Amino acid sequence: MKPILLITPPFTQLNTPYPATAYLKGFFNTKNIESTQMDLGIDVILALFSREGLLSIFNQIDSSESLSENACRIFSLKGEYITTIDAVITFLQGKNPSLARQIVTSGFLPEASRFANFHEDEEAVNWAFGTMGMQDKAKHLATLYLEDLSDFIVECIDENFGFSRYAERLGRSANSFNELYTYLQKTPTFIDRITLQILEDKIQLVEPQLVCFSVPFPGNLYSAFRCAQYIKNRFPTIKIAMGGGFPNTELRDLKDIRVFEFFDFITLDDGELPLELLYYYTQSNNPNLPLKRTFLIKENQLIYQNDAIQVDYKQSKVGTPDYSDLLLDQYISVIEVANPMHSLWSDGRWNKLTMAHGCYWGKCTFCDISLDYIKVYEPIHAKILVDRMEALIQQTGETGFHFVDEAAPPVLMREVALEILRRKLIVTWWTNIRFEKSFTADLCMLLKLSGCIAVSGGLEVASDRLLALIKKGVTVEQVANVTKNFTESGIMVHAYLMYGYPTQTVQETVDALEMVRQLFELGIVQSGFWHQFAMTAHSPVGMNPDEFGVVPNYKEISFANNDVQFKDKTGIDHDKFSFGLKKSLFNYMHGIGFDFELQEWFDFKIPKTKIPFNFIETVIQQDSKFSTKPASKIVWIGSSPSVKSYVKTKKGNSWEMLELVFYSKTLTVSCHFEKEKGEWLLEKLEELTLTNPKLTTFSELKTDFERFFEDFELFWYSKYMIQLRAIGLLSL
């Protein structure tokens, strides 16, 4: 028996577990409170996409029913799907790599509508995967195969199904609980029945006293309620709680008492202390024990109890996430889009961590900056972070990390990278950032050397006027230079893009698309995603709509309160841009369509762009190699050189020289210095290595140089020193 069962309800990701329950289990470990966890979503997916699952799905279909042409094709090929499904899932779990050679050969997988675009764009796909990228190409084809089956399930079995969400419409903008409540009175669906059977088996095995559902997204909400309903009916003595991203943002104004027919408690914001107190509360017969940020029913009244005097735990005290109990070897890696950066979200197993709680910027006007998960900023010390990385490697066997920060702080990224290099860890990591000017070429090189492979960040609207209105704190020119620095260091870049921000004009939308086209054509951004602006109740726009030229359509709130319907006073229909923006971006991510006029992406008239065709190219050509801040930390991460002395003679004068030959992993650099300066440099390079606990600043290095010689800048920016800066002499 384990007193606490932590559950992520269906569905989040196929390739890696959502980390909330692992964080909570890690915290409970520090308190010696026993708990276990499960990702119910991956359990259900594996049950559905199996030989037995497909047999059951196809047996639900009456062959006399009127099916679409695509569904009819899949149903007719059901034998092929049933025969191949287990092998394909095993391949996507990384356990059967030799199957790739069959998958990439036409005729092994049954094909339906999802393969149409593949065959139309086969040249682009071959460009993306190359002639030897067989494993990834096979993953892409196997993903299309699963998506065909998903389309069949949506049409014939359950319209609410989705790989990363379920019945999302019931949770999105659900100001009233009525629709969801009514739906929960219906007979459980085919997918519900699979879900509830797996849940039943787990509860019988674990015998928990408290079940905690972590609900990160609207697409997890319905399943959480359905599971809670089942537990209430089947195991009435078990107490049930809900927390996570959805209640944290959407259920802060909860008033509907019917919700507590399903849940006993709903907690808000950081879950560690509220759940610890809830555990003691449920273990006790004392209803007067304090609670933290918790909704519950007392004396038939819905109350919000927040009377605990304890403050939330510091991030250094919450423990290392614990992924035990989760089926780490059974997650499946998929590649939906033939783009290396885009695939990171669905391909590969990533240990998820955060560098800091909250956002160090906390000013963007579209963001929920009034809520704790954004506004309470608390970084974690680099040594603690890397300790946690090592602990997770030991536990999971995986060396890949996704830091899921709102925006990872550049200074902390630098310290983490230095700590990784000091410990000589071989890890692979990526994270979300702001396109800060702090991300210099040298910092990007350091991050790359520590294992960073990609960053994602918000360009939002590629318009300086709108970026200022958003309070993004960046300009298009700055973003272009930062993305160039990342790309040139070998780090991929994904840009989050926005359209329909209040007061955005049609001309600004077109000009933003042209900026994006140039960024992709120059290869300094590799992936992106357009989303339409949504006004949330907890953002500056939502709280002060008049300041942003929007008219909100407020509704009475008894359940969820986040997305707010509104009208932009400009009267522009931003919806109509959606298809053209996304189609153009899909092509740009595949390296095609750059020579198309922007008008070709739209079926309505748009104005010509006012952005010069070479705007981005011009702004990234500025050279910053000859500028170093006095406080910059100077680090040498290269190897010791071979040294040779020789005498140089010119016009009858002779002097001693040193030749220093440096070897990097890919380059050989030969530098020649006067003997005294060469010896000074050798001594300093030894001091500048990572083994030295105190890093030397540029100003300190300059002062030391000028104790013996003149004009440090002339030496620092000389040809040979610039060559050294390219192989590991970094200014950070």
**DSSP per residue, 110-173:** ---THHHHHHHTHHHHHHHHTTT-HHHHHHHHHHHHHHHHHHHHHHHT-TTEETTEESHHHHTT
- Give the tokens for residue 711: 């004009």
Q: Give the pLDDT confidence score for residue 370 in this predicted structure.
A: 92
Question: pLDDT category, 649, cuts 50, 70, 90?
Answer: confident
CATH code for the structural domain at 1-41+164-326 = 3.40.50.2300
pLDDT at residue 132 tops 60: no
* CA atoms within 13 Å, Cβ hemisphere of 340: 17
Residues 6+ apart with CB under 8 A from 200: 230, 234
pLDDT at residue 277 tops 60: yes
Distance CA 251, CA 483 (A): 37
Q: Are 361 and 473 in contact (CB under 8 A)?
A: yes
pLDDT at residue 126 tops 70: no
As a whole-number percent, the residues of the chain with pLDDT over 90 amount to 81
Q: Give the pLDDT confidence score for residue 2 in this predicted structure.
A: 85
Phi-psi label, residue 398: left if phi above 0, alpha if psi -120 to 50, beta otherwise: beta
State the CB neighbour count (10 A cutoff) for residue 271.
26
The DSSP code for 365 is T
The DSSP code for 437 is T
Query: To 5 degrees, how large is the angle CA 702–CA 706–CA 710?
Result: 115
| Listed range (122-136, 179-193, 277-291, 436-450) with the worst mean pLDDT | 122-136
pLDDT at residue 440 tops 60: yes
In sequence order, what are the beta bridge partners of 528? 495
Single pTM value for the model: 0.93
> For residue range 6-53, what is the model confidence (pLDDT) as tens digits?
999 999 999 999 999 999 999 999 999 999 999 999 999 999 999 999
* CA atoms within 13 Å, Cβ hemisphere of 428: 13
H/E element, 730: strand 729-731
Phi, then psi, of 597 in degrees rounded to 5: -65, 145
Q: Give the pLDDT confidence score for residue 84 in this predicted structure.
A: 96
Q: Give the pLDDT confidence score for residue 217 in this predicted structure.
A: 93
**CATH 3.40.50.2300 residue window(s) in the chain:** 1-41+164-326
Distance CA 627, CA 654 (A): 34
Q: Give the pLDDT confidence score for residue 65 in this predicted structure.
A: 72
- Give the tokens for residue 221: 């909400």
**CATH 3.80.30.20 residue window(s) in the chain:** 333-619
pLDDT at residue 164 tops 90: no
pLDDT at residue 727 tops 70: yes
| Listed range (65-69, 261-265, 431-435) with the worst mean pLDDT | 65-69
Average pLDDT value for residue range 129-144 = 82
Question: pLDDT category, 530, cuts 50, 70, 90?
Answer: very high
CB contact burial 603-626 (16+ within 10 A = b; e otherwise) = eeebeebebeeebbeebbeeeeee
Phi, then psi, of 714 in degrees rounded to 5: -60, -40
Distance CA 478, CA 620 (A): 9
Residue 716 carries which side chain, given as an amino acid letter? Answer: W
Distance CA 702, CA 666 (A): 30
Question: pLDDT category, 130, cuts 50, 70, 90?
Answer: low
Q: Give the pLDDT confidence score for residue 340 in this predicted structure.
A: 82
pLDDT at residue 116 tops 90: no
List C-alpha distances in Å: 233 to 5, 8, 194, 236: 17, 20, 17, 6
Q: Give the pLDDT confidence score for residue 652 in this predicted structure.
A: 79
Question: pLDDT category, 310, cuts 50, 70, 90?
Answer: very high
In order, the DSSP letters of 690-726 are: TTSSSPEEHHHHHHHHTTTSS-HHHHHTSHHHHHHHT
Q: Give the pLDDT confidence score for residue 245 in this predicted structure.
A: 95
Q: Give the pLDDT confidence score for residue 210 in this predicted structure.
A: 97
Residue 616 carries which side chain, given as an amino acid letter? Answer: I
H/E element, 477: helix 476-489
Q: Are 401 and 428 in contact (CB under 8 A)?
A: yes
Residue located via tokens 């700590």: 419
Residues 6+ apart with CB under 8 A from 694: none
Q: Give the pLDDT confidence score for residue 1 in this predicted structure.
A: 76
pLDDT at residue 706 tops 60: yes
List C-alpha distances in Å: 677 to 655, 659, 673, 712: 12, 11, 6, 11
Architecture field, domain 333-619: Alpha-Beta Horseshoe (3.80)
Q: Give the pLDDT confidence score for residue 124 in this predicted structure.
A: 61
Indicate the SS3 state at residue 70: helix
Distance CA 707, CA 721 (A): 19
Q: Give the pLDDT confidence score for residue 666 in this predicted structure.
A: 87
Q: Give the pLDDT confidence score for residue 343 in this predicted structure.
A: 86
pLDDT at residue 488 tops 80: yes
> For residue range 590-638, what is the model confidence (pLDDT) as tens digits?
889 999 999 999 999 999 999 999 999 999 987 556 678 899 999 999 8
> For residue range 216-239, what is the model confidence (pLDDT) as tens digits?
999 999 999 999 999 999 999 999
Distance CA 302, CA 308 (A): 18
pLDDT at residue 701 tops 80: yes
Q: Are 477 and 459 in contact (CB under 8 A)?
A: no
pLDDT at residue 510 tops 90: yes
Phi, then psi, of 401 in degrees rounded to 5: -130, 135
CA dihedral 78, 83, 84, 89 (to 10 degrees): 100
CA dihedral 475, 481, 487, 492 (to 10 degrees): -10
Q: Are 439 and 452 in contact (CB under 8 A)?
A: no
pLDDT at residue 122 tops 80: no
CB contact burial 710-728 (16+ within 10 A = b; e otherwise) = eebeebbeeebbeebbbbb
Distance CA 175, CA 470 (A): 26
What is the 3 state secondary structure string of 278-289? HHHHHHCCCCCC
Residues 6+ apart with CB under 8 A from 517: 584, 588, 594, 598
> For residue range 355-376, what is the model confidence (pLDDT) as tens digits?
999 999 999 999 999 999 999 9
* CA atoms within 13 Å, Cβ hemisphere of 306: 9
- Give the tokens for residue 226: 């359905």
Q: Indicate the average pLDDT of the chain.
A: 92
Q: Are 526 and 341 in contact (CB under 8 A)?
A: yes
In sequence order, what are the beta bridge partners of 32? none
Average pLDDT value for residue range 386-398 = 96
- Give the tokens for residue 104: 């990439």
